[in-house]
Structure 1
Amino acid sequence: MGAVCNKVVLATHNQGKIREFKAALSELGLEAVSIGELCQVNEPEETGKTFMENALLKARYYMEFCRLPCLADDSGLAVEPLHGAPGVYSARYAGENATDEENNEKLLRELADVPFEKSKAKYICALALVYPDGRYMTAKGACEGLIQKEANGEGGFGYDPYFYVPELGTTMADISLEEKNKRSHRALALRLLVDKLRAEDATHE
């Protein structure tokens, strides 16, 4: 890819994601810039039924505006006893403009009768990198855990204070940012995408 274009547009305004994406792509000599640095455009409606459908939708939408390779992600929480909910509605589980607290309150209500050991859940991240010539590359990462009934930890956001990771013995909100960036669903998906890009570059050498 590097031989074709050294710039990748990030389809996000989230500063945490931007830092993470820029650091990973810089390993490949790629310059990552957020869509906000290039132009002001309304966000697309996320109509996909899966995380990957939404990631591809967003990447293609922004790529059309900037005509550069565009990287988008879609992620959220899938809870086994709730048949995969909140899923693609994770950010708006309790309503369109719901806060993290409101989403968590609804999640706990839905799981009120589910024992802790049966509250299996996954954080899932889908990444899509779309090129102006129509090619695209995808990657997916997941982090498994359980949903506990009491919040724990001051870090993180979203469902992190309730997302218990057995191998760590605590929640995603109770670990360092460095540790989270090694284990998170987004970090795992990003690592896989970078490996795919590196392999693609190697075939063109």
Structure 2
Amino acid sequence: MELVFATNNAHKLEEVQQMIGDRFKLLSLADIGCHEDIPETGVTFEENAQQKTDYLKEKFNVDCFGDDSGLEVDALQGEPGVYSARYAGTRDMEKNIDLVLEKLGNNDHRTARFKTVISLNINNEQHFFEGSIEGRIINERIGTKGFGYDPIFIPNGYDITFAEMSLEEKNRISHRSVAVQKLCNFLFSIK
């Protein structure tokens, strides 16, 4: 069975395909000829994820899922949150990371979490799946794997950043893996 994942992020696609395995073939936006920017104007992860699936269902009439993920830093009142990808006003993750570190400064309160919400539109029904992982923000980038804020986030119970973990290690514990596992459990129950 084919499912469209509302992304052109090759890292995300690879992560999720590895978790789903070969029971479902994931297609990217480019695979279905969707080259438009899908609106993300919601104020919650749920709203943004649903905007993606609603858009694809309306324009392409495909079974699909989309996610919205972000980093929530407690000392920054939950920022960057839904604005994680454009926190510094651009999609430049280096600038986004710089802004988080700058705003935190010497603050010792560095607890944070990554959160993902997946919206699935299948058989003309909407379903939501959520995952999160608690951790902390460190003072400098460490590691070269992963993407986004991975080089400054250490999950609770670990002493390395997401950017130091192999894809397999990260997929066992990440916010996305928790949400995708819930998605998989649902998909496997209806297939």
Q: TM-score, normalised by structure 1?
A: 0.86
Aligned residues: 191
Equivalent runs, 1:45-84 vs 2, <5 Å: 45-84=39-78
Task: Report if aligned partners of 2:114, 2:175 keep a CA contact under 8 Å in 1.
Answer: yes
SS of the aligned residue for 1:140 comes to strand
SS of the aligned residue for 2:145 comes to coil
Which residue of 122, 139, 145 corresponds with 1:149?
139
SS of the aligned residue for 2:40 comes to coil
Give the match for residue 112 of structure 1.
Answer: 105
Task: Give the CA deviation at 1:26.
Answer: 4.3
Task: Give the CA deviation at 1:63.
Answer: 1.7
The alignment yields a C-alpha RMSD, in angstroms, of 1.7
For 2:99 and 2:163, the matched residues in 1 are separated by: 19
SS of the aligned residue for 1:78 comes to strand
Task: Report if aligned partners of 2:72, 2:113 keep a CA contact under 8 Å in 1.
Answer: yes
Asked if 1:102 corresponds to 2:95, the answer is yes
- The one-character-per-residue Cα deviations of 1:60-107 (angstroms, maximum 9, x if unpaired) are 101222211111011010011111100000011111x24111111111
Equivalent runs, 1:1-20 vs 2, <5 Å: 6-20=1-15
User: Which amino acid in the other structure matches residue 58 of structure 1?
Assistant: K
User: Which amino acid in the other structure matches residue 187 of structure 1?
Assistant: S
Distance 1:101 1:24, change over 3 A: closer
For 1:156 and 1:53, the matched residues in 2 are separated by: 25
Task: Report if aligned partners of 2:131, 2:178 keep a CA contact under 8 Å in 1.
Answer: yes
Task: Report if aligned partners of 2:19, 2:171 keep a CA contact under 8 Å in 1.
Answer: no
Rg (Cα) greater in structure: 1
Task: Report if aligned partners of 1:164, 1:172 keep a CA contact under 8 Å in 2.
Answer: yes
Distance 1:176 1:23, change over 3 A: closer
- The one-character-per-residue Cα deviations of 1:153-182 (angstroms, maximum 9, x if unpaired) are 121222111112231111111111210111
Q: TM-score, normalised by structure 2?
A: 0.92
Task: Give the CA deviation at 1:32.
Answer: 2.3
User: Which amino acid in the other structure matches residue 53 of structure 1?
Assistant: E
- Name which of structure 1's ranges 73-82 and 192-201 shifts more when overlaid on structure 2: 192-201
Give the match for residue 120 of structure 2.
Answer: 129
Asked if 1:169 corresponds to 2:149, the answer is no
- Name which of structure 1's ranges 12-21 and 182-191 shifts more when overlaid on structure 2: 12-21
SS of the aligned residue for 2:115 comes to strand
For 1:167 and 1:23, the matched residues in 2 are separated by: 24
User: Which amino acid in the other structure matches residue 11 of structure 1?
Assistant: A
For 1:113 and 1:168, the matched residues in 2 are separated by: 22
Give the match for residue 42 of structure 1.
Answer: 36
Superposition misfits of 4+ residues, deviation over 4 angstroms: none
Q: Which runs of 5+ in 2 are unaligned?
A: none
